[in-house]
Amino acid sequence: MDTRNIRIIRERVIKSFNTIIMTLASLLLLSPMIWMISTSFKKPKDVFTYPIQWIPHDPVWTNHFKVWMTGDGFALFYFNSLKISLILMIGAPLLAAFAAYGFSRIPFKGRDGIFLLYLCLMMIPPQVLFVPKFIMFDWMKIYNTHWALILPGLFTVFGVFMIRQFFMSIPHEISEAAFIDGAGHFRIFFQLFLPLSKPVLATFAIIDFTWTWNDYENALIFLLDKKLFTVPLGMQNFMLEAGVDYNMMMAAATAGVVPLLIVFFLGQKYIIQGFSSSAVKG
């Protein structure tokens, strides 16, 4: 056997070994979700049976129907979360792209220093801002409304940083050629930069949707009316009502995960491309 065949065999063995390791690691990480979905179809007496029944022998579909038909309005919690998450999924990337274009393509005095100070906001724990936000929202008369979650969520330091890194990777010759043809900043932004930045915008939109959908602290502090509750607050409320009804809790948790899975699978092809393109130039 020549050296080339030995090298090919070695590469295939290494690739197969890595595949097995990654598969086992993936199953280990997915096991809590698998148990959650499995438990949502079990009877109460089968929840803690040992060994674990990963596939229920007698699936119970009524758990999922009860989640939507009973309780304190789980469908309303779902609608509230979808409304807030979709608004921010569209608005936050657009506003972040505006700011990123200014920091990357419009020269002005102190631009880099201002951007550095802007990045320093990422080091401030969000819990520190709860009291100032409460005072501001109460003054603006938006406390205990969805605007208390939407307005702050429209402005994200991470989104500006991520999209700016991508804009910095676009050759300056492209925008200079557009200026020579008579295009202004708005036309260059909408007709040139936005179409080129679809991967990074889609990536950030998916990340922002996940953040907003899972946001528990802000909803807990700034929402009082139960009719305004989002899914995380609704889940907590549902757990308090359901008590030790674990199969019902898992059915509600499974329903809460579905939108995240849908958004991820629809946009997964953009994630790696978006992260890699935004890291080309710093």
Backbone angles phi, psi at 268, to 5 degrees: -65, -30
pLDDT digits (tens, 9 = 90+) for 147-185: 999 999 998 888 898 888 888 888 888 888 888 877 788
Lowest mean pLDDT among 95-104, 164-173, 206-215: 164-173
Sign of CA dihedral 52, 55, 56, 58: negative
| Mean pLDDT of all residues belonging to the chain | 82
pLDDT digits (tens, 9 = 90+) for 104-151: 888 888 888 888 888 888 888 888 888 899 899 999 999 999 999 999
Cβ(163)–Cβ(92) under 8 Å? Answer: no
Report helix angle 74-105 to 111-120, nearest 10.
150
**Does the structure show a pLDDT above 60 at 242?**
no
Cβ(156)–Cβ(208) under 8 Å? Answer: yes
Q: pTM here?
A: 0.80
Which three-class secondary structure string do you get for 13-78?
HHHHHHHHHHHHHHHHHHHHHHHHHHHCCCCHHHCCCCCCCCCCCCCCCHHHHHHHHCCCCHHHHH
Cβ(97)–Cβ(105) under 8 Å? Answer: no
pLDDT digits (tens, 9 = 90+) for 195-208: 888 888 888 898 89
The reported pLDDT for the residue numbered 147 is: 93
- Give the amino acid at 118: Y
The pLDDT of 224-234, averaged and rounded, is: 86
The pLDDT of 213-222, averaged and rounded, is: 90
pLDDT digits (tens, 9 = 90+) for 39-75: 888 777 777 777 777 777 777 777 777 777 765 667 8
**Does the structure show a pLDDT above 80 at 102?**
yes
Lowest mean pLDDT among 44-58, 243-257, 265-279: 265-279
**Which stretch, 132-136, 252-256, 262-266, has highest mean pLDDT?**
132-136
What gap in Å lies between CA 41 and CA 259, rounded to an integer? 19
Closest CA to 70 of 282, 275, 234: 234
The pLDDT of 218-246, averaged and rounded, is: 80
Which of the four pLDDT bands, split at 50, 70 and 90, describes residue 275? low
